Amino acid sequence: MAWTHESKKSVLNIKKSGILAGLDDIVGSLGKEEKKFYELEVAEVLDICLSSKHEAFNALGGYSNGAIGRIKIRLIHSEPIVNKDSVIDGKLGASLWARPVFSNIKTYPLKREFVIVGQYLSKGTTSTNEIAMEYYYTSPLSVFGSVNSNALFLKTAEAPLSGISYSDSEAGYEKIEGEEKEKLFSLGNEYSPSVKIKPLLPKEGDMIFEGRFGQSIRFGSPDGHTTPNIYIRAGQSELEEEPQYLKPINENINLDGSSIYMTVDEKVLLERSTNVFSAAKASATIPDEFSGKQIILNSDSVILNSRDGTLVGMAKNGIGFSTGGDITLDSVGTTTIASPVINLGFEANEPVVLGNKLEEVINDLMGEIEKIIDAITAISVPTGTGPSGPPVNSPQFLAVKNIGLKAIKNKLVSIKSKQNFTK
């Protein structure tokens, strides 16, 4: 609901508070008693429905009524007392529940965080004569300036907001001890706040999206002018010396968990994971520095998986791979490497032999050897008593032809690979 505030003092003497006021409120309150009207209000998050197992899921209308993401709220200004809730027989009692104000971009708050709420058009509206209203909420207020948690427990009271007390707090959550902490200050069923999550250090003109757990997307410029870049990070760096709480840090492509950098004209100081570059340096496929228009992925493991199609990589000036381990290729089909020159090994100088040609040459060579053996075994030498007979060692020559050469011919079938082919 909307709320009002009465003041008998000049605007210069009004106590500071977290209210939203317009120019007409300020001008109208000068020097006179005034009742001011506010449509937006700060609300404390008491609960949030995140699954069908939540006790209020059915009472909120289930999936078809957008129950997921709705939050139970306490209005700080107009209803400082918490309304009792009841979900028996699908009834919510007197509690107030709000929907996310935007459908496509949502930041789900934690319990004990604070959001801005307002009443707007409900899908229950049937005509413009009877407008049904319901509450909608924004992203959490940055009470502590923390990206991890901004929870704060305000004690229920009937006094104005300026009179409400709260316990000392730090690190984005409260310092409440004993049973009261367990009973009243749960941020969720599983969520546990952390003082180690640091916000990003902003630069002029940056647009930054930060998650609660050390992930971020930054749209920025290294020169603060016209050169764009995009940094995507999941898991901030674990520094050897933890800086003070909420002290901003920059992305670090070498220390962050997983990173994707998209840059246009920036030198990225990426530390190479291997120095095995003998072949890569010879062909200049891996640059000495990473600069210019580029996309860099860096993580402990990078996996590309094409579930139902092909994986294609194309480069105009070269493709380089380097590893301190093994490179393996597995395929149930054909593996084809097409290139004018293929070097197997660094400084490869010896050409590869063609199997069919080699078999043909060896067959021709053995055929000529057989002709020589036939000629030797047919030698006849003239003598005084007439031509001599065959040489006495002819059987040895014939054994070379009929046994030795035939054995070699039988082995020629096995010298050719049935898997690897070239031309």
∠ CA 92-95-97, rounded to 5°: 90
User: With a threshold of 0.75, does the pTM exceed it?
Assistant: no
Pairing type for strands 96-100 and 133-137 reads parallel
Pairing type for strands 71-75 and 96-100 reads antiparallel
Q: What is the pLDDT of residue 88?
A: 63
Residue range 112-166, pLDDT digits in tens: 999 999 999 888 888 888 888 999 999 999 999 999 999 887 765 433 334 334 3
Same domain, 201 and 342: yes
Rounded CA gap, 58 and 97, in Å? 13
Over residues 335-342, mean pLDDT: 88
Over residues 231-259, mean pLDDT: 88
Is 175 inside a domain boundary? yes
Q: Which two tokens stand for residue 297?
A: 């992925």
Same domain, 377 and 249: no
Q: What is the pLDDT of residue 408?
A: 85
Backbone angles phi, psi at 240, to 5 degrees: -65, -40
- What confidence tier does 10 reach under pLDDT thresholds 50, 70, 90? very low
47 touches 72 (CB < 8 A)? yes
Q: What is the Cβ-side half-sphere exposure of residue 54, based on CA atoms within 13 angstroms?
A: 24
Same domain, 144 and 252: no
Neighbouring-strand partners of residue 210: 216
Same domain, 206 and 281: yes
Residues of the domain holding 282: 196-346
User: Which of 164, 184, 204 is the C-terminal boundary of a domain?
Assistant: 184
DSSP notation for 15-42: PP-S----HHHHHHTTTS-EEEEES-EE
Same domain, 159 and 208: no
- What confidence tier does 303 reach under pLDDT thresholds 50, 70, 90? very high
Same domain, 335 and 206: yes
Is 20 inside a domain boundary? no
Is 301 inside a domain boundary? yes
Q: What is the pLDDT of residue 354?
A: 87
Same domain, 243 and 261: yes
Judge whether residue 278 has pLDDT over 70. Answer: yes
Q: Count of domains in the chain? A: 3
Residue range 178-224, pLDDT digits in tens: 454 555 567 888 888 888 888 999 888 889 999 999 999 999 988 77
Q: Choose the weakest-confidence range: 143-152, 166-175, 306-315, 346-355.
A: 166-175
340 touches 334 (CB < 8 A)? no
Rounded CA gap, 237 and 404, in Å? 72
Same domain, 166 and 260: no
Rounded CA gap, 178 and 36, in Å? 41
User: Which of 320, 346, 372 is the C-terminal boundary of a domain?
Assistant: 346
DSSP-derived letter for residue 370 is H
Q: What is the pLDDT of residue 407?
A: 86
216 touches 208 (CB < 8 A)? yes
Percent of the chain at pLDDT > 90 equals 33
- What confidence tier does 168 reach under pLDDT thresholds 50, 70, 90? very low
Same domain, 261 and 209: yes
Judge whether residue 285 has pLDDT over 60. Answer: yes
Is 104 inside a domain boundary? yes
Is 24 inside a domain boundary? no
Judge whether residue 305 has pLDDT over 60. Answer: yes
Higher pLDDT, 207 or 242: 207
Q: What is the pLDDT of residue 422?
A: 82
Q: Long-range contacts made by residues 204-209, C-beta under 8 angstroms, separation at least 24?
A: none
271 touches 226 (CB < 8 A)? no
Judge whether residue 20 has pLDDT over 50. Answer: no
Q: Choose the weakest-confidence range: 12-21, 264-273, 361-370.
A: 12-21
Higher pLDDT, 49 or 400: 49
Judge whether residue 381 has pLDDT over 70. Answer: yes
Same domain, 233 and 250: yes
Amino acid at 29: S
User: Which of 184, 217, 248 is the C-terminal boundary of a domain?
Assistant: 184
DSSP-derived letter for residue 141 is P
150 touches 172 (CB < 8 A)? yes
Over residues 405-409, mean pLDDT: 85
Q: What is the pLDDT of residue 26?
A: 43
Q: Which residues contact 133 (CB under 8 A, 6 or more apart)?
A: 119, 120, 121, 122
Rounded CA gap, 393 and 370, in Å? 16
Is 89 inside a domain boundary? yes
Rounded CA gap, 44 and 71, in Å? 10
Backbone angles phi, psi at 375, to 5 degrees: -65, -40
Which of 169-173, 230-234, 247-251: highest mean pLDDT?
A: 230-234
Give exposure, 81-93, as e/b (b: 16+ Cβ within 10 Å). Answer: eebebebeeeebe
Is 421 inside a domain boundary? no
Q: What is the pLDDT of residue 80?
A: 66
Residue range 47-88, pLDDT digits in tens: 999 999 999 999 999 999 999 999 999 998 887 666 666 776
Same domain, 147 and 269: no
Same domain, 327 and 387: no
Distances from the Cα of 88 to the Cαs of 66, 128, 194, 260, 357, in angstroms?
20, 33, 36, 49, 88
